[in-house]
Amino acid sequence: MIIDEAFFGFARTGSVEGKMPYPCILDTTKGEQVRRTDGIIEVLGQRGMPATETKNAEAASLMQNGEWLTEDIVIIPDGAQLIQRPRKLVEKLTEIRRKYGMSRLIYLQGVADPYLIPILVYAGVSLFDDSTLRMETSAGYKFTIFGRMKATDPASEQNITFVREILPVLSQSIKSGTLRELVEKYQISSKAVEVLRLLDNDIKKEGEHFFPRRTQYVKANSLESLRRPDLVRYRDYISNDYRKPENRRVAVLMPCSARKPYSSSKSHKRIIEAIGGMRNQVHELIITSPVGLVPRDLEQTYPASYYDIPVIGEWYEDEKLMINNVIEAYFRNNSYERVVVFVDNDLEFIMDHLPANSILVKWDRNDSSLVKLKDTVATLLAGHPPKGSYNQKMERFTKIAEYQFGSWISKYMAGCKIVKNYNSEMLVKEGKPVLVFNEMLGKFTINKQSAPWFIENGKYLVEIDNFKPTANIYAVGVLNATDDVRQEDEVVLHHAGELKGVGIAKMPARAMIDLKKGVAVKVRN
């Protein structure tokens, strides 16, 4: 039986029968972990089903389609051949996932290339074997951190040790949510880069569905980071679903800062001071890579407060294209009376993609440019006092909640008040706390008072058997989950519409439904 400990997108780590950890490399020399006898493949004691040896119609169909099946494992034969055609490999892995969900581990036969294993684990492969590894060793090749090379001395045990030492690192990166960064760093093989790009481009929608809602951080050290599913997810929201707060007449675009959130940086503090009392009519928008465009009201959220990128004062063409596409899409959905662009010379490339009457005020990092910004905004707002008063913090919280849960939640937040409670702030409605803002994570947590909102709207729900949840909900107790649930999401637990609790999803929704082992939801109350 599969016992999963953690997930990261398509990748998973755990053990089979509590004994063999995965991801792993199977030993083909002793016949104890994998063997083939009279056309029958046996993996970890589980018997495969080749079509020529069974009358089972399903097994015959599987064999014809190029995969074998055991109780817990899907075997892809001739993996060494398939890896030479990365697009076919990605298509095969996608096909298998659609057929069997997360109910079985994927074993790619004949592959143990240390420069491909990280991306293959990221793609959803859990089991490999050492057959081609031993062949390459016999051919005189030695594996190093810089690539393979011809060896003067036999390197058999050294090669096997080198490859096996990668596995616990991959396992830990799945648990810590850092697998994507590891894969992007480890780009020795051009085929690994090709597979990553195919995953990001060809199965973008499916990849986003499995990718966690948030990770520890985003280390954007290569252009591959632009295609991270969580960053694409954010940019799609800004491009298609985000709507600016009411009463904001003038947009001011500005560069990002190294410090997060941006408003805590010296440069942004100076800008905020310059705009001063006009901020209730101004909408501040931050231009950045790899995130794209960040409204000030979302600067505390993920990924805006969780990324780091090398800054050299130049923009790659891929970054320019990404930023311009987001800007164009944003301004198609959000209109202002005027747009002011307060940027350095290196960001002037955005001007052709902004509304026609946009005003450029160059930021020379001195007081005179800040004065010019202040005067420009004041002139645009002259004679137009704010339309009534409103709570700017409540406006910001509403935008964060809409981003986290969807625009449907804004009607429930009407009438809420903000109450400070120790180090956190709560939204209170009719005297009862409904949402708590976690400033460290830049998100709201759901409680039992707001949970009915989600049940009424069919959002972020995990349906469980009729029992009282305690610390954890295991996959065996999950009946269903709504399609919007991603790993690390706030979710509401219910049984046939009856509220059972709230918590945080620890698996992709598909895994919750398919599996019988592993923690699906960490219960909060």
Residue 282, number of CB atoms within 10 A of its CB: 21
Structure confidence at residue 203 (pLDDT): 95
Amino acid at 343: V
- CA distance readout (Å), 368 to 160, 173, 275, 278: 64, 48, 14, 18
- Mean pLDDT by groups of 10 residues along the chain of 525 residues: 93 90 92 81 83 45 66 90 94 93 93 94 96 83 84 76 92 97 91 95 95 94 94 98 94 96 96 94 96 97 94 88 98 97 94 96 91 97 76 93 97 93 88 94 96 98 94 94 97 97 96 92 89
Structure tokens at 306: 């969780």
Burial classification of residue 522, based on how many CB atoms lie within 10 Å of its CB (0-12 exposed, 13-18 middle, 19 or more buried): middle
Closest CA to 108 of 76, 153, 62, 150: 76
**Is the preceding omega at residue 261 within 30 degrees of 0, hence cis?**
yes
C-beta separation of 188 from 82 below 8 A:
no
Structure confidence at residue 366 (pLDDT): 86
Does the pTM of the predicted model rise above 0.85? yes
Closest CA to 164 of 33, 74, 67, 76: 33
Structure confidence at residue 225 (pLDDT): 94
Query: Cα separation of 326 and 159, whole Å?
Result: 46
Structure confidence at residue 154 (pLDDT): 65
Q: What residue spans of 73-223 are helical by DSSP H?
A: 79-82, 86-100, 117-123, 131-138, 156-164, 166-176, 179-185, 190-201, 204-210
Core vs surface per residue 391-425: b (16+ CB within 10 A) or e? eeeebbbbbbbbbbbeeebeebbeebeeeeeeeeb
Structure confidence at residue 65 (pLDDT): 54
- CA distance readout (Å), 361 to 18, 113, 417, 419, 481: 63, 53, 38, 39, 49
Amino acid at 502: V
Q: What residue spans of 165-283 are helical by DSSP H?
A: 166-176, 179-185, 190-201, 204-210, 229-240, 266-275
Strand ranges across the sheet with 73-76: 24-26, 127-129, 105-108, 73-76, 68-69
The alpha carbon dihedral of 457, 462, 466, 468 has a sign of: negative
Residues 6+ apart with CB under 8 A from 46: 70, 71, 72, 73
Query: Cα separation of 399 and 238, whole Å?
Result: 12
Structure confidence at residue 369 (pLDDT): 95
Structure confidence at residue 51 (pLDDT): 36
Amino acid at 388: G
What 3-state DSSP class applies to 48?
A: coil
Residues 6+ apart with CB under 8 A from 344: 255, 362, 363, 364, 365
Amino acid at 188: I
Structure confidence at residue 160 (pLDDT): 86
Residues 6+ apart with CB under 8 A from 459: 405, 406, 408, 482, 484
Phi-psi region of 212 (alpha: psi -120 to 50; beta: other; left: phi over 0): beta
Q: What residue ranges define each of the domains in the chain, with the CATH number in brackets? A: 2-210 (3.20.20.105), 230-381 (3.40.50.10630), 404-523 (2.30.130.10)
- CA distance readout (Å), 410 to 125, 236, 362, 396: 41, 20, 37, 11
